[in-house]
Amino acid sequence: MTGKLWAGVDIGGTKTAVVLSAEPPAVISRREIPTLPAAGPARVLASIQKDLNEMLAECGAAPEALAGIGVSCGSPQDRVAGVIQAPPNLPTWVDVPITSILSREFGCRCALENDANAGAVAEHRFGAGRGVENMVFLTLGTGLGAGIIADGRLYHGTSDAAGEIGHVRLTRTGPVGYHKAGSVEGWSSGGGIAQLAEKVMVKASARGVKTVLAEGRGEGPLTARDVGIAARCGDRVARRILRVAGNRLGETLAILVDILNPQRIVIGGMALRLGDLLLEPAREVMRREALPQSAGICEVVPAALDENIGDVAALCIAMGLHEREP
């Protein structure tokens, strides 16, 4: 294979994906390995290097064919220095200089970016944010973060901490997220929904209420996925849980709309699986709470890149799309 190749590395708490592309967002080769956070970063770093070398060889390309490598990973991190600084889902990854390691191995530029920011760039260039100048991307997983596109460019903030909407407190008490009770992450992330579900189920059980959620939960703690499955089966308790989470998400959207005045808010992660069970109450509250002239021109839509968003996000960082205008 001749011509430029781009490599993307998407590091998550459960798995790490390595992808190779000649024309992003299309992927020509992909490998996935378990991250196993407790084991530390050494094994994963070795696997990334081994896999990428093998993927290049399979394509008939030398390492010199790589034009750039992009790494997408959760915060905290030093984006400029290229150092991962023990994110909550990777507590043993303490001050890992990942861009230096990969640049040394492959002899090309390597860049690191927060996963929510990288997701925002991916959806802006190739997904549901195409064609808009001002958008917000929300990632709803175990946690909740945001990436902001302002005037067509990724907005980092003064200390690269822009978009941490999950840390904002909505209520004095409530589910805990970002180490803060009643925070946006506490109310509307997957982890927060699981906390809310456990509390609601205790009350339902005390009243003798039978639910699909209780019958299908299995042995472990409740998850947001359990709530979603029960809600799709028509379980009233599960649907009430999602309406509460959706209402709080709507309050969050109203804050974003009033402050940033975006044309579009793109929501990934759980929004793809829960759909309007979560998003419709959120839209209703946003329209009610935000300034009419701002809410009226803002669409709230699911992410378009679906399960591929992590791969595309990392490739966008490899191409430097987070650093320049379209």
197 within some domain: yes
CATH number at residue 74: 3.30.420.40
The CA angle 251-254-258, to the nearest 5 degrees, is 145
Instruction: Specify whether 76 is located in the same domain as 188.
Output: no
- pLDDT of 174 > 90? The answer is yes
- pLDDT, residue 255, reads 98
- pLDDT, residue 41, reads 96
Instruction: Specify whether 159 is located in the same domain as 295.
Output: yes
- pLDDT, residue 63, reads 79
Instruction: Specify whether 145 is located in the same domain as 76.
Output: no
Instruction: Specify whether 58 is located in the same domain as 137.
Output: no
263 within some domain: yes
164 within some domain: yes
Instruction: Specify whether 209 is located in the same domain as 72.
Output: no
Kindly compute the dihedral angle of the four CA atoms of residues 221, 227, 233, 235, in this order, to the nearest 10 degrees. 90
- pLDDT of 2 > 60? The answer is no
Instruction: Specify whether 162 is located in the same domain as 224.
Output: yes
pLDDT digits (tens, 9 = 90+) for 302-322: 999 988 999 999 999 999 988
- pLDDT of 282 > 80? The answer is yes
| Mean of all residue pLDDT scores within the chain | 92
Both structure tokens of 142: 């175990």
Instruction: Specify whether 110 is located in the same domain as 160.
Output: no
- pLDDT of 257 > 80? The answer is yes
- pLDDT, residue 325, reads 54
Q: What percent of the chain has pLDDT over 90?
A: 78
pLDDT digits (tens, 9 = 90+) for 179-204: 899 999 999 999 999 999 999 988 88
Q: Taking residues 151-165, report their average pLDDT.
A: 93
245 within some domain: yes
The total of other beta-carbon atoms located within 10 Å of residue 151's CB is: 8
Range of the domain at 10: 5-119+309-318
Instruction: Specify whether 147 is located in the same domain as 264.
Output: yes
Question: SS3 for 248?
Answer: helix
pLDDT digits (tens, 9 = 90+) for 96-114: 999 999 999 999 999 999 9
325 within some domain: no
323 within some domain: no
How many structural domains does the chain have? 2
126 within some domain: no
pLDDT digits (tens, 9 = 90+) for 205-251: 788 887 877 775 666 788 899 999 999 999 999 999 999 999 999 99
CA distances from 224 to 107, 140, 213 (A): 42, 11, 11
326 within some domain: no
- pLDDT, residue 307, reads 85
Instruction: Specify whether 286 is located in the same domain as 137.
Output: yes
* Contact predicate 106/66, CB 8 Å: yes
Both structure tokens of 13: 């708490």
- pLDDT of 128 > 70? The answer is yes
Instruction: Specify whether 139 is located in the same domain as 62.
Output: no
- pLDDT, residue 218, reads 62
Enumerate helices (H) and strands (E) in the chain, giving the number of each: 12, 14
Instruction: Specify whether 313 is located in the same domain as 286.
Output: no
Instruction: Specify whether 162 is located in the same domain as 105.
Output: no
Q: Taking residues 43-53, report their average pLDDT.
A: 97
- pLDDT of 18 > 80? The answer is yes
